[in-house]
Structure formats: structure tokens, C-alpha cells
A and B are shown apart, each in its own frame.
Chain A
Amino acid sequence: MSGSTYGGVPRWVAAVAAVGAAFVVLPLVAMLLRVNWADFVPLITSESSLDALGLSLRTSLASTALCVMLGVPMAVVLARTRFWGQKVLRSLVLLPLVLPPVVGGIALLYTFGRRGLLGQGFEAFGVTIAFSTTAVVLAQTFVALPFLVLSLEGALRTVGTRYEAVGATLGARPTTVLRRITLPLVLPALVSGAVLSFARALGEFGATLTFAGSLQGVTRTLPLEIYLQRETDPDAAVALSLVLVVVAVVVVAVAHRAGEPAGLRLRRRAR
């Protein structure tokens, strides 16, 4: 923190940076000040709160798993192949990143809803996604997937194909190369991407509200519970918000640690 070690930073930059930091940190402090500590534990351990927290963790884990399953192949294809329309496809895949979640929810509704593009077909087989926990997972996956694809694709490009080429000339089939070379090399990015996806899924609100609905224990995740509690019990909303903030801080810390490639760290030490 001491300025003397960073002699190159103009003072006015540091001043604006401090204002920026305050802008981010102050709201958190303000929220902390509003927490009703006397009732904190009962507030966050109420049945509805625990239901919401449990549901959020379960659905976020499920959507993170889905993100990894779908996102790894997507990132590999985007980073390692060239085909017509690839740039357009990449932009479309990353769209949920910039799209208001509500728009995502509406789009999902018209896809997986009872009268949706695919939903109609599912309905014919007796599978209803609307108002189910599955819908929550779909909504979360939709908004979280780009985080994983983006960080993994970048890592794949950085690592390059030289190790993979060596593996292939040693007789490894493409699947073996992917499993034993490519994925281990980008593991740090995969982990941080997955953690970011988890965090995004955990915070997902708009798409879930629009697409999945809100029912305790089934579709009412923590953000939805907070939004609802705010109507009648601001103390509970603040307490739950704090829980979400703590989980988010832990997640960001983990992602930050994982974000530094282990291989790079080793190499640097060796030099």
C-alpha cells in the first residue's frame, strides 16, 4: 500500500483510484451497517432462507457442471478450429454476457417453455421444464456458460498447439491429447472459469425470475428470496444479502488463486 514503492503512479491517478475503490466498497459497508446482528442467525436460518440457500448452492453446482460439460468442447472448438461463421458464432455464444438477464429469461421461455420451440416437444413426452428446478439450472447455465468459454478459450490460445503437436507425433489420438495434454495445461483457467460460472449462477436473478418462477424450495433461489423478503422484512433481506456477499467474496478469492497458472508459477521459480 505504501506509495513510495510505486513511484511511477501519478498522485491524481491514485486519488481517482481511491474514489473508485470507495465507490465499490462503501455500498458493502453501508449494507454491513444495516445488518441486524441481534437477529442475524435466526434470520438466515429461517426455513425459507435455508431452503433458498440450499437450492442456490445445488442449482449453481449443477449449472457449473453443465457449463464445464458444454463449455469445454465449445472453447476447444472455438480456439482450435477455423470454420465459416466462427466469429459470428463466438459473438452469439458470448451474448448472454452482455444481455440483460431478463432478455435471456424471455428467450429461454420461448425455447424451453410449455409452448416453446423445444418445450412443446418435451411436453409431448410428459417432461415439463416450466416452474421446475431444472428451469433454474437452465437459466443459470445460460448466463454462466460464456464465462467458462471465454476464460478457457483465451487460455487455450495462450498455451498454443505446440505441446499438442508433440503429443500427436508421439502417437496420441486427439482424445488422448485433449485429456492428457490440453486439459491439464489449461487446468488453472478451467478452474477459475468454473468458479466464475458458479459465482454468476449463484447471483442469477433476472432469467430465473422470468423463466423459472419463484417457489420456496423449488425455484426460489437466494437472490429471489432476498428480493421477496425485501417486501416485508428488510432485515432478513439484508442478512441474506450479506450471506451472498460472503459466498461471492470466497468465490472470487478462489478464482483469483486458481487464475494464476500453476505451470507459470513453477517456471518462474525455475528461472
Chain B
Amino acid sequence: MRRATTAVLAAATLLLLSGCAGQAAPASDVPASSAVPGSTEAALEGTVTVFAAASLKATFTELAQEFEAAHPGVTVELSFAGSSDLVTQITEGAPADVFASADEKNMAKLIDAGVVDAAAPVDFATNVLTIAVPPGNPGGVARLADLADPGIATVLCAPQVPCGAAAETLEKAAGVTIPAVSEESSVTDVLGKVTSGEADAGLVYVTDVVAAGDAVEGIDIAESAEAVNTYPIAPVAGAQNPAAARAFVELVTGSAGRDVLAAAGFGAP
């Protein structure tokens, strides 16, 4: 009796632990779906899991709704995080059907890992840096060169993250050295320092300024074309639902996708 209790408890605990480890076995939602790989024009069904860069949150949430409206049988699961986090999760086996990266470098990592076909990625958007300042522009910032003044507290992304790498490129191209007071690990943190007024200026993406609404003002950078960030998207090889994955990628790269992305400030590839 006691031994049985022990075994049951141990098993239950292990199950719990494995349940915590990630999304539960995808097998459990597939049986309901009759989606057979290859039958493209047939009605799509099941779940399609999209891993997308954090900066795509608003646009992809909207696009997912459009997709579900167009394909009533499909549920879109969205997971947003930093591109490199997502790459780590996918290579560790997270069940992604589509990956949308904020830069080409992270997409390349997945190609190297054999998770994405080399020919699969499609560029669907671009983003450029802009100067975000608190409302009223207390630092009186007018152009990129102004940020070289140590009296202006400027926050950048750390060079290790994509927005920081872009900022570094821009600095070199424009011949400006910015004495940053902080180098954040994410663009959200940069924006946070600007909206709270801690910093006089921050280099962020145009889309971030659009999304932030009245909380910040954006000041266009004349040299912004020197550092253009390109967003690639691709279905993941071995996707659970390849048909829906392809359809989702088509939606994002098509005109509907273009409209939503443009409204959010993204440029065309």
C-alpha cells in the first residue's frame, strides 16, 4: 500500500515537473485536427504557433486576429520575446511553427542550427532608429549630433543587442560619439528611461515611438538610412502545422500585412 502511494506521488510530481518545462506535448492538440501536410487549398485547421520579436507585438496580434477571421478553423498562438531569447527557445525544442525575427542575425542562427531552411526567410519589414525624447523635449535635442553633449543624458541599447548594434553603426556612419549614461539590454528599457524623464534622449526604433503615443516625442535622424534593421519571417522546418504556417507567412508578407505594419511605423523591405 505504502509503496503504491510512493510510486503514485513520485509519478505525479514528475508529471508536474515535466508539465512545467514547457508547452505540454503538442500531440495532445493535433488529434483533433485533420490537417494533412500538403493539402494547401483545403480549409486550414488546428493551431499555429508564432514566435515573434517583442517589437512586433501590436502588429502581429492584429494580424493574428485577421488570420483567425479568415481561417475560422485555426487558432494562432503568439509568443513574444527578444529575438535571441526566441532563438534559444526554438533550438531547445520549443514548438514554434513560424519565427519572425527583429534582425537577420538571429534568423541566421536558426538557419545554422538547421531549424529553418536557408531559402525560407522572407524580409517583411524594416525599422530605423529615431531619437525619443520626453514630451516637451527638455534637453532641446534637434539632431543626432546633439547627443554628443555630455550634458544631455542619453540612453542607448547595449551593443550586444540589435538596437544597440544599430546605434553603434549609426554613430560610426554619422561620426558622432554618444556618451551614454546607460546601455540597456532592451529597447523597452531605453524607452522606459525616456518616458519617465530620467533620460533626456534615447535611441529607439521609429515603431517604438509610434507605439508609445504621447509618452515620448520622436525626432527623425537624417542619417537613419545608415542603419536599417530588416525583419525576416520564416516557417520553421518540422512545424506541427506547416500549411497554416505558410498561410500566416503569406498574410504577413502580403498587402494586408503591409498595411498593418506601415501603420505601426515599419518601413517596406
Contact = CB atoms under 8 A, between A and B. Distances in A.
Interface stretch (A64-72, A87-95, A107-115): A107-115
**For the side of the interface on A, what is the size category?**
20 to 34
A214 interface: yes
Contact of A215 (B17, B183, B189): B183
Contacts of A213: 155, 181-184, 193, 198
Interface stretch (A52-60, A145-153, A157-165, A222-230): A222-230
Interface residues of B, number: 30
Contact of A12 (B9, B14, B17): B9
A110 B198 CA distance: 10
Given A113-B197, A115-B197, A231-B84, A15 B10 contact: yes
A216 interface: yes
B185 to A, nearest CB: 5
B213 to A, nearest CB: 19
B13 interface: yes
Contacts of B158: 214, 228, 231
A214 B161 contact: no
**Which DSSP category, helix, strand, loop or mixed, fits chain A's interface?**
helix
Interface of B: 2-3, 5-6, 9-10, 13-14, 17, 82, 84, 88, 153, 155, 158, 160-161, 180-185, 189, 192-193, 196-199
Contacts of B14: 19
B18 to A, nearest CB: 12
A110 B9 CA distance: 48
B20 to A, nearest CB: 9
14 contacts: A12-B5, A16-B9, A19-B14, A113-B196, A113-B198, A115-B198, A209-B184, A210-B192, A219-B182, A224-B185, A228-B161, A228-B185, A231-B84, A232-B160
A115 B185 contact: no
A214 B183 CA distance: 5
